[in-house]
Every structure is written in structure tokens, then in C-alpha cells.
Amino acid sequence: MKRIFIDSSVFFSAAYSEKGGSRELLLKGARGEVILVLSPLVLEETRRNLGEVSSELADLFDMIAGAIPFELVQPTKDEVISAAMIVSLKDAPILAAARKAGVDLLVTLDKKHLLGKPELVKYAGTPIVSPKEAINDYL
């Protein structure tokens, strides 16, 4: 079974919109078709960002997070520092966690910092793709 690391942009999008690749990935995780991997930081960041939009979305996030069996991975400080050598410090915990987890895909909506960066793909040891690409090309 494929193990997919999702970042907070994907989780936010899945909670915010009933349609799209992000929601489909969470549904696949809920149905046991894929294993969704994330870090505690992804959970914290997603809840905080949704809470800034509305308390109802934060409540929906809590329900989703409680219903889907995520695999959690926590990178060490040294792993994050190592990743920060090739990516912005803000994104280093994501790259470090995906690398540590040894996932089949890192899925993100971050076009500016993560998508389309071959050096990050090499470092992570896995393709870095959008939710749509994950669904259409890998699952």
C-alpha cells in the first residue's frame, strides 16, 4: 500500500473544500486505500490556519483528524537543520519528515517552495507532486 506524506496545504484544502485532489486523498486514507503520513507540525499548522478562517472549519478538522488513521513522523532537530540547507527553514520540517518516513510520495500545493524542484526530490528520495498528480499519475 502506498504511503503518502501530506503537508498542511493539502490538509487545509481537503478540510476547506468538498472537491478536488486533496479531499480525494483524505478519503482514500479514510477508506484504507493509502496510508497518510504527516508530522505533528502539519496537524498543528492546519488546525491553526483553519481556525483563523472559522471555528466551524477547525471543528471539522478535529473530526477528520480523529477519524483517519494517520501515521505520524517527527523529524529530529538535526534532520530539520539538514533539510534547511536546501529548502527554506519554513519548509525544512516537511522535507525532513517526508525523508525520514521513507514515503512513496510527498504531496503538496506549495508551487513556490516545493513543487518542481528536482534537488528537493533527490533529497527527499521521493516524488514531490500535487494532489491531482498523485491521484492521476501514482494512485
- Structural domains of the chain ordered from first start: 3-138 (3.40.50.1010)
Of 80, 83, 103, 76, residue with least CA distance to 10: 103
pTM for the predicted model, two decimal places: 0.94
pLDDT for the residue 54: 87
pLDDT for the residue 59: 87
Cα-Cα-Cα-Cα dihedral sign, residues 95, 63, 2, 128: negative
pLDDT for the residue 60: 84
Measure the CA–CA gap between 7 and 83, rounded to whole angstroms: 15
pLDDT for the residue 98: 98
pLDDT for the residue 139: 85
pLDDT for the residue 131: 98
Q: Work out the number of other CB atoms within 10 angstroms of the CB of residue 104.
A: 18
pLDDT for the residue 16: 85
pLDDT for the residue 64: 85
Percentages helix, strand, coil for the chain, rounded to the nearest 5? 55, 10, 35
**Per-residue tens of pLDDT for the chain, all 139 residues:** 999 999 999 999 998 888 999 999 999 999 999 999 999 999 999 999 988 988 888 888 888 888 899 999 999 999 999 999 999 999 999 999 999 999 999 999 999 999 999 999 999 999 999 999 999 999 8
